[in-house]
Structure 1
């Protein structure tokens, strides 16, 4: 194994390349409430306390990063080896999936379960964390963020841009962090409500089922393109077409591998084996999608997690960036096995603070992060998987409706007014379109 050479001492501004720092000087005291009227969870902290938190976190990060070594390298290599053997073993077991035992196909169930776990490990603990650069210090070209391509519909390059560069820079900033609801969910009361969100419980479940394709469309910024393509320059359109072609090519490769090549190879074990292999791959991908979506929503959307206004990050200092990561994330409590299966994103608070820290270290620093937050009276949002999932699904249902305002109009009236406005607007647009069409016809007639 080759370790990184001794690193020179780093200044405070280069400790974490993903910190978005606009100012080194503490800003004025934070207001007690946001512009929306919701309480500011960090209003009780003075600017000096916030910068003190930043210095403490800088020191913690430096301590861990300086201690990286053989133990960490052995960990990620062991996980990769386990994942590959598990996938190969599961595919071997699936060759016998046509064998029935009392009407039951044990090989199919065992092989599909093993393949599901292998795909989850590849995406979560390996792919996600490798592409964050957590293992770049090893100088291993096979385990490097610039070379890793994962088993997913989204191309690594596009995912790294939308996730590493955008999401981790603007964590939970309304209007800047597209991960906040992925553009189809309203997950915070400060997000404006529209009729579209009435159906978000349906969108939410559908999004979970096809999550890898949703993420591919999201990384491609397909929604933004469709909304503003008429106003885009030819260069912007050409770039989108190039990126779209890359996504389509990646999806074709994934589909060919899972639904053509592997089923075709399994024909050696019998005429029905390809169908069994095909269904096993379908189920494994579905399980992986549902699990990945579940882990991600538990780290970003449970009650108690704060969102931030665009103006609040103007002139943001180092300590404030750290503070935003802590307040904008939530953890999942559980066993070591569960943490590995989540890619250690069950330690989402720690991951958002230090996205390029080796994932196996998050459990070590979690007690110290929790202590720091509790000392400063900051909410350390955490809970069991069942609790976090339940709270998010309930939140999705609740926020599909307009905000309940004391002394304001009833929700049903707000919905009714929105329906009327939408219907009126559609009629107006139809009249305008008809008038334009008539005008164009008249002009053509006059010319003739």
Structure 2
């Protein structure tokens, strides 16, 4: 696989990964065949799967909320907090993310449909679908077009000019992880210059801001007013439990998403490198080179919303998530056939790799590898003193 150090060059004869145009189109046909096999075979077992997960998540949340009514007892607090954190992760990852992708729309069940589903998240479903399903999945890992790549606030590629402000990138990334759902909501609003010039904010943008603020108010009221109040004298314990569950959910979600698009070895792209009218084969290839998987147990796949199969998800974002593990070996065979590296590591290694990249790109190109650890602090002070 071409790394971000080795900028791919699109010519009339080669594509990213060194493939010829004929190879790219053949690759597209092979992946189309895998997709069609799933479409032809999806049915009751898939529907039963998502209904089981939804039911289990709701029962887990209900049981955890009930336990937290007695949150003054340490055992009840630990049990309720852990259960609530897991329930929130399931709601956002395996259920919300995938339902809002339309993976289950074929069931024609109004209770599990992308047009009716609302999740336990600050970002309203409609706004998230626009920025994630359309923008991110269309322009995956294209610098300047896909703001999911660093969420528009980080240096994500060596080709980006280094500036002293990037020195705080690791700290900013950690803060973002802790408040991830709010960061996503702000990102989904795509305020841009509107923040600097509120007078020119369009009526449509003002309406979007109001919807998001209303959703945030409901979320805050639910977790930090209503449920604590129901706990009576234990309200402080319940409030702390809800805050802890939200923090765990945010840190987990952020880690999973970083593993999918930011580890070392995942390729990014410049707009000038890509054809204006990208073929389906080229789009497939970009998803393959711009994604990474997490290897692990079925429980880990469930808790990641099957985004541990990020490669399969980005190739086939509308297929039922429970099928990604099933088709992963076939997708891997396609990688191997065309000499492409299938980026898959255990979660600890992928998280470490992603954080290494965050730190590395916060410094000038090549600086991290060349600088002796003993000189780290004085070198950082010198870099910080440079004019922006």
Is the structural similarity TM-score above 0.5? yes
Measure the CA separation in 2 of the matches of 1:190 and 1:81.
47
Measure the CA separation in 1 of the matches of 2:346 and 2:72.
38
Decide whether aligned partners of structure 1 residues 300 and 280 sit closer, same or farther in structure 2, where only a CA change above 3 A counts: same
1:59 to 17, 33, 47: 33
Displacement, 1:200?
0.3
Match of 1:95 in 2: 69
Q: What does residue range 146-225 of structure 1 map to in structure 2 within 5 Å? A: 146-225=115-194
Q: TM-score, normalised by structure 2?
A: 0.91
Counterpart contact for 2:69–2:230, Cα < 8 Å? no
Secondary structure of the equivalent of 1:367?
helix
2:13 to 23, 29, 38: 29
Match of 2:88 in 1: 119
- Structure number with higher helix proportion: 2
Match of 2:206 in 1: 241
Displacement, 1:276?
1.4
Counterpart contact for 2:101–2:133, Cα < 8 Å? yes
Secondary structure of the equivalent of 1:289?
helix
1:337 to 299, 302, 306: 299
Measure the CA separation in 2 of the matches of 1:387 and 1:414.
26
Decide whether aligned partners of structure 1 residues 367 and 213 sit closer, same or farther in structure 2, where only a CA change above 3 A counts: same
2:24 to 33, 50, 58: 50
Matched, 1:143 2:112: yes
Match of 2:57 in 1: 83
Displacement, 1:224?
4.3
Displacement, 1:157?
0.8
Match of 1:9 in 2: none
Displacement, 1:28?
1.9
Unmatched runs of 5 consecutive residues or more in structure 2: 1-9, 371-375
Match of 1:284 in 2: 245
Matched, 1:302 2:263: yes
Displacement, 1:91?
1.1
Displacement, 1:223?
3.9
The C-alpha deviation readout for 1:360-383, integer Å capped at 9, x for no partner, is 000001011111101111011110
Higher relative contact order (CA 8 A, sep 6+): 2
- Greater shift, 258-267 or 280-289, is seen at 258-267
Measure the CA separation in 2 of the matches of 1:200 and 1:347.
27
Measure the CA separation in 2 of the matches of 1:185 and 1:331.
22
Count, aligned residues: 373
Unmatched runs of 5 consecutive residues or more in structure 1: 1-25, 32-39, 100-104, 423-448
Matched, 1:73 2:47: yes
RMSD over aligned Cα, in angstroms? 2.4
Match of 1:259 in 2: 224
Displacement, 1:191?
2.6
In our comparison, the structure showing a higher alpha carbon Rg is 1
Counterpart contact for 1:55–1:319, Cα < 8 Å? yes
